[in-house]
């Protein structure tokens, strides 16, 4: 699958309290969560982010709590994909489990202009292109087991298939 | 296959739970889970996902635990609705380990206390601080709600076998220095992603002499270093704790002498000061002497990190016959009902009330900025909790420092961060 969208850049160690503050956890509806996405660190973000946009971040994205509300809020805002240098482990598994595309990329994406520039992401090949400069980046390959989870659309579908056997 | 090197405790536990002879770090496996846990924030999402399976039973109702502890006693209508969802699910699926308010405690203090945790178990919880149970020699790790839904259906979860880092603490802890100081010192040394995806093995003479409450505090905060789990191998203190309490079958597992560690850290603790995590990150750690004089509006003693009886005793020893600073609000939250009653019986509650602290029924409450003590803009808090991210305890423009219970109590009296020895002279 090939995605293309406007980029929003965030730094290192973006924690799940920053992605969605605990005071908004009284709902499980992704769109309601999305109304407060990144609110405490970028208050205007819920109004700026549009479906199809791409979040780019540094190290350890999604550290802190296990709240699946964090990837759900990102999904609820219509963000198509998160590219980070690395992900905290619970966020990583949550994103894969719920079918939010994520890519680990060690390339230097810091020169890309947040809220202006665009990326094209080939999820299958792990190829990332910066539209404005034409620069190419490679993402880490997922191990086969995770590719299967991703291709089935997440953990629930994977388990359903097992239960059907 | 010939055995070339030994295995760590976590590699062995995951091997026995995935039907394998041995495992190496990096392998992806499906492992059987002995206990699956959810709370009032994460279980509603898991229940919604579980319903997609169309099942009329969970894999084993005795291996599912549901604890409404975060926004309880229900802070508002939305919270009440979430708890109602969890309560109904527990009733419908015959989950007897559902802990209603009044029996409820903060999950990670409650489960070991209730004897639901034993060495060698695989425990997953839709709560990041599930790593707490490593203190008892279990493999325990935080997962998401969808993981919990899947585990409730098939009794399994997928894992990447983590590499293990070994942390050796040698020496004798000085007075007023605790397991909390060891773990936040460590997080300060290696950073919030220093142990990302890794298992953290805690060992050395200072750990051998550390109480179970102190060990639970250490394992609890492994996640703050990015760890998948933190653990202490079972020993005399573990078995004393389990005696007369544990209700589940268990098999102690130990790391081999020739186990492979990714890295080994050595710390001498003889002269360790109480440690403080400065905002806005648990790894922004300095000794208390460098935090002296920071004025406070609120102090919280409680949480899954430091709401156990030993923590309350440490606070009471300092608060006895004293009053807190008139500008400061001190909130004390025993982590479970048993701890609450023990505190009453030991006379700790009278000390707290006479010191003009507010004492609450068990709840996660203010730790995650839920309720029961939220900070306003510009306010400064000091807490025995585990995270101090932007807005963690309330307004995004509030600030939160983390410390051990003795420092918290002493600082509540002084109205500013101090070393306990400044108050107890």
Residue B68 and residue A29: Cα distance in Å, rounded? Answer: 19
| Yes or no, beta carbons of B55 and A163 under 8 Å apart | yes
For A40, the closest chain B residue by CA position comes to: B396
| Yes or no, beta carbons of A65 and B127 under 8 Å apart | yes
Is A141 in the B-facing interface, judged by CB distances under 8 Å?
no
| Yes or no, beta carbons of B78 and A26 under 8 Å apart | yes
Tokens of A94: 């949550």
Give A90-105 pLDDT, tens digit per residue: 999 999 999 999 999 9
Buried b / exposed e along B311-342 (16+ C-beta atoms within 10 A): bbbbbbbbbbebebbeebbbbbbbbbbbbbeb
How high is the pLDDT of residue A144? 87
Q: What is the pTM of this model?
A: 0.97
Quote the percentage of chain B above a pLDDT of 70.
99
pLDDT at B359 over 60: yes
pLDDT at B307 over 60: yes
pLDDT at A8 over 90: yes
Cα Dmax for chain B: 69
For A154, the closest chain B residue by CA position comes to: B146
pLDDT at B3 over 60: no
Residue A13 and residue B388: Cα distance in Å, rounded? Answer: 13
Among A20, A25, A146, A147, most B C-beta atoms within 10 A, so best to mutate, is: A25
For A143, the closest chain B residue by CA position comes to: B28
The full length of chain B comes to 425
| Yes or no, beta carbons of A66 and B144 under 8 Å apart | yes
Residue B375 and residue B398: Cα distance in Å, rounded? Answer: 6
Give A23-68 pLDDT, tens digit per residue: 999 999 999 999 999 999 999 999 999 999 999 999 999 999 999 9
Are the beta carbons of B48 and B137 closer than 8 angstroms?
A: no
Residue B42 and residue B36: Cα distance in Å, rounded? Answer: 12
- Chain A hits for B197, CB-CB cut-off 8 Å, are 89
Interface of A with B in 77-136 (CB under 8 A): 86, 88-90, 93-94, 97-98
Tokens of A60: 């350890």
pLDDT bin (cut points 50, 70, 90) of residue A79 is very high
Mean pLDDT of A110-116: 93
Are the beta carbons of B11 and B24 closer than 8 angstroms?
A: yes
Strand order through the sheet with B399-402? B285-287, B275-277, B399-402, B380-383, B298-301, B329-332, B358-359
For B193, the closest chain A residue by CA position comes to: A60
Q: How many CB pairs under 8 A join A and B?
A: 138
Mean pLDDT of B404-414: 98
Are the beta carbons of B33 and B19 closer than 8 angstroms?
A: no
Mean pLDDT of B60-69: 98
Are the beta carbons of A128 and A134 closer than 8 angstroms?
A: no
How high is the pLDDT of residue B277? 98
Mean pLDDT of B4-30: 95
Residue B384 and residue B332: Cα distance in Å, rounded? Answer: 10
Which helix (H) or strand (E) covers residue B270, if one does? none
Tokens of B176: 């007023």
Query: What rounded mean pLDDT belongs to chain A?
Result: 95
Distances from the Cα of B131 to the Cα of A6, A10, B229, angstroms: 37, 28, 5
Q: Radius of gyration over alpha carbons of chain B, in Å?
A: 21
Cis ω for the linkage preceding B280 (within 30 of 0): yes
pLDDT at B269 over 80: yes
Interface of B with A in 242-271 (CB under 8 A): none
Interface of B with A in 328-367 (CB under 8 A): none
Which helix (H) or strand (E) covers residue B331, if one does? strand B329-332
pLDDT at B46 over 60: yes
- Chain B hits for A69, CB-CB cut-off 8 Å, are 41, 45
Are the beta carbons of B368 and B70 closer than 8 angstroms?
A: yes
pLDDT at B2 over 70: no
Going by the DSSP 8-state scheme, the letter that residue B62 receives in this structure is G
How high is the pLDDT of residue B1? 45
| Yes or no, beta carbons of B391 and A17 under 8 Å apart | yes
Cis ω for the linkage preceding B73 (within 30 of 0): yes
DSSP string spanning B207-260? Answer: HHTS-HHHHHHHHHGGGGGT-SEEE----HHHHHHHTTT--S--------TTB-
Are the beta carbons of B322 and B358 closer than 8 angstroms?
A: no
B365 Rama sector, left if φ>0, alpha if ψ -120 to 50, beta otherwise: left
Helices (H), B346-394: 348-354
Is B52 in the A-facing interface, judged by CB distances under 8 Å?
yes
How high is the pLDDT of residue A1? 87
Q: Which of B423, B353, B363 is nearest to B110 (CA)?
A: B363
Buried b / exposed e along B126-141 (16+ C-beta atoms within 10 A): bbbbbbbbbbbbbbbb
Which residues sit opposite B65 in a β-bridge?
Answer: B37
């Amino acid at each position: 699958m090939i995605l293309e969208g406007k980029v929003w850049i965030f730094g290192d160690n973006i924690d799940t309290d920053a992605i969605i503050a605990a005071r908004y956890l009284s709902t499980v509806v992704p769109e309601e969560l999305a109304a407060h996405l990144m609110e405490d660190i970028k208050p205007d973000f819920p109004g700026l982010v549009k479906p199809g946009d791409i979040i780019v971040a540094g190290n350890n994205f999604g550290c802190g709590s296990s709240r699946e509300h964090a990837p759900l809020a990102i999904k609820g805002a219509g963000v198509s994909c998160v590219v980070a240098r690395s992900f905290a482990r619970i966020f990583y598994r949550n994103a894969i489990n719920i079918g939010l595309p994520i890519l680990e990329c060690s390339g230097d994406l810091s020169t890309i202009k947040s809220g202006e520039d665009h990326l094209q992401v080939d999820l299958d090949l792990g190829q990332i292109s910066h539209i404005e400069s034409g620069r190419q980046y490679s993402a880490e390959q997922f191990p086969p087991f995770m590719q299967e989870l991703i291709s089935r659309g997440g953990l629930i579908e994977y388990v359903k298939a097992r239960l059907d056997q | 296959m010939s055995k070339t090197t030994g295995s760590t405790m976590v590699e062995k536990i995951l091997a026995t739970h995935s039907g394998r002879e041995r495992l190496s770090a990096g392998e992806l496996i499906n492992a059987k889970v002995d206990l699956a846990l959810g709370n009032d924030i994460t279980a509603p999402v898991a229940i919604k996902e579980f319903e997609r399976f169309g099942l009329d039973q969970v894999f084993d109702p005795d291996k599912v635990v549901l604890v409404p502890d975060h926004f309880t006693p229900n802070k508002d209508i939305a919270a009440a609705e979430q708890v109602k969802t969890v309560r109904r699910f527990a009733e419908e699926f015959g989950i007897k380990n559902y802990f209603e308010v009044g029996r409820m405690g903060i999950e990670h203090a409650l489960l070991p206390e209730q004897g639901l945790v034993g060495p060698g178990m695989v425990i997953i919880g839709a709560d990041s601080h599930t790593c707490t149970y490593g203190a008892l020699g279990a493999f325990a790790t935080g997962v998401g709600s969808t993981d919990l839904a899947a585990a409730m259906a098939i009794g399994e979860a997928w894992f990447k076998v983590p590499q293990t880092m070994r942390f050796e603490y040698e020496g004798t802890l000085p007075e007023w220095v605790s397991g909390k100081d060891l773990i936040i010192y460590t997080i300060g040394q290696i950073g919030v992603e220093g142990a990302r995806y890794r298992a953290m093995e805690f060992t050395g003479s200072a750990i051998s002499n550390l109480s179970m409450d102190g060990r639970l505090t250490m394992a609890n905060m492994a996640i703050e270093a990015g760890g998948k789990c933190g653990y202490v191998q079972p020993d005399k203190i573990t078995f004393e704790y389990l005696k007369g309490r544990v209700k589940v079958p268990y098999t102690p597992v130990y790391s081999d002498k020739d186990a492979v560690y990714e890295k080994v850290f050595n710390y001498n603790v003889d002269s360790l000061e109480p440690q403080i995590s400065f905002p806005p990150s648990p790894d922004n750690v300095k000794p208390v002497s460098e935090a002296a004089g920071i004025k406070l509006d609120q102090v919280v003693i409680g949480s899954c990190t430091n709401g156990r009886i030993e923590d309350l005793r440490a606070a009471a020893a300092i608060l006895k016959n004293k009053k807190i600073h008139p500008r400061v609000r001190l909130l004390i939250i025993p982590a479970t009902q048993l701890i609450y009653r023990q505190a009453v019986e030991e006379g700790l509650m009278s000390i707290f009330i006479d010191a003009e602290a507010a004492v609450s029924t068990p709840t996660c409450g203010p730790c995650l900025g839920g309720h029961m003590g939220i900070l306003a803009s510009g306010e400064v808090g000091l807490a025995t909790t585990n995270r101090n991210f932007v807005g963690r305890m309330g307004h995004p423009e509030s600030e939160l420092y983390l410390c051990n219970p003795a420092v918290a109590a002493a600082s509540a009296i002084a109205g500013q961060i101090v070393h306990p020895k400044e108050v107890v002279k």
